[in-house]
Structure 1
Amino acid sequence: MKLALFLVRRVVAAVLSLVALSALVFAATDLLPGDATDTLAGAQASQGDRDQLRAQLGLDRNALDRFTSWLSQAATGDLGTGLVGGRPVVAVLGERLPNSLVLTALAFLLAVPLAIAGGLLAGMRAQRRSDRVISGGALVLAGLPEFLTVVALTAALSTWLGLLPEVSLAPVGGRPWDSPQVLVLPALSLTLVGVATATRLVRSAVVDVVDAPYVESARLAGVSGGRLAVRHVLPNALGPAVQAVAVMFGGLTGGAVVVEAIFNYPGVGYELQQAVANRDVPMVQGLSLALCATALLALLVGDVVAALLDPRRRGL
């Protein structure tokens, strides 16, 4: 019963968060200067033509009316239709989301073991040289703007060494994984972004466990080094570590928007950047809401898994 109530509370909280985020997304896009009529009407259109087009597109309605209409449609799975090109947002997601998920999954698979290993080592040796090096490096990476990380990797691996392409264009009619080399730079860029955040969160979880009585008992019994870390510390820090990984996945979802735009990678982030440039508000709103829902789903799964690993987190 308590597990069911815990799940219900988490799902309700996620839904309410998504509604709040939808309001923020709508408000932010509604404040964008100009609208899609600038693109659709053309430079030679008169103000009367622009006003008529705005009325046809429903852009002349008040913000509250447009928001409630959009939210009610989104609740039924209809995320709207782009003004530029007339493409349904759901169709764009169906085409681009697999590309983004592959990129995010690659970065996730690379970042998780690195973050756990780094956080475990730093936490086990808190306040020592290895901790300062790992924590300091993670702090620097977390503080760097994502585009600087991307530029540094591109300069090193593409411009100077010539090992990888500077852009990540998929083959015509194909998918990015048809040419795996186009995935390397975007995946590495996202990996560094994810590792920077998750390593510090895992370290904090490990530090909380290291001084626990059961860990001290294991030390007194002669257990030390990697055996102590893997058999006694990591299992008890696994719940918070899972939540850290979930937070990292949410961060990767947002970071992919920047990375895809820089590399021209054909994912949701690239489409979002194009929609913003064209002032295609329905497309921006729909894609942004889908990204928010993906991040919230990752956090929800992380909370549930952490609670299953540590019943104290759900009051059992």
Structure 2
Amino acid sequence: MASSIPGPVALPDSQYDLSTYWGRVQHCAEISDPTMLLNTSKDIENAKRLVWDYKNGVIPSMTPDLWKAKRVLDSSIHPDTSETVLLPFRMSSCVLSNLVVTAGMLTPGLGTAGTVFWQIANQSLNVAINISNANKSHPLSTQQLITNYVLAVGASCGVATGLNSIVPRLKNITPNTKLILGRLVPFAAVVSAGIVNVFLMRSEEIKKGISVFDKDGNTLGSSKTAAIQAVGETAASRVINATPIMVIPPLILVKLQKGLLKGKSLGVQTVANIGLIFTTSLVALPFALAIFPQRREVNVSKLEKQFQGLKDKDGNEITTVQFNRGI
């Protein structure tokens, strides 16, 4: 992200108002825009130079070119190291990288082997994205990464294969309801694994707390209460992010297979499935990503006693603090 470029002048978080939902939607739409993948290494280096000039006082104010440069960096480079993230694992590649895997998981009529294969493929992609974008100041050990991966794969495969065997045996429901429930099994599997992964990846934060800041960005200490809220919201966001992409396309496909696609070849149905997933991802993903603000504000009365009664640099009592929710 552009914030990782060194310099004494702070760069604005966004050209949109991130305190509003619509402002966050616009911001998320920009950083997840697949067209950002067309930027070359030279484009990224030029963007770094432009942002460096601003953060070091060479450019006095934000300009359209500077906003564009920030957009390029926010969607392409690591937030800690300023290094360019491998193309398939960038935020701007989210839609395209997940397209094939999601289409595979949502393919109608998958057997057990196919279900397990695509769940493993999905978790492997998630691990690659997490490693590529992880906080480098608190890296996970290889053992932790392997453990998290195995448990996430176990959760997703267990839920998927288990529900696939249970749904056909359900009684007192119509065949159409069984069909719809069967199509939603991948969603349940992905959500289960996502929640497990969040709590495993961030268990240390819950144990030790996360940093909270005053309005000027000064660190006031670590809060376990803030950590629980941050991790809980992140787990909820995994459910919200997956919902439109893994629920809307299969439901529409069921309807199409009874009408427009009835009697069509598997190839035609597969193309329709991929098209539905791609369109839904482009349209719905920014709205899902924007549900929770990245930077949260909370009243000190809801935190530990150590944060109550603190004074700011002007001697005024600090009533609210901020923390970074994380991803």
TM interval, short-chain normalised: 0.3 to 0.5
**Whose strand proportion is higher, 1 or 2?**
2
In the superposition, the TM-score normalised over structure 1's length comes to 0.37
In the superposition, the TM-score normalised over structure 2's length comes to 0.36
**Whose helix proportion is higher, 1 or 2?**
1
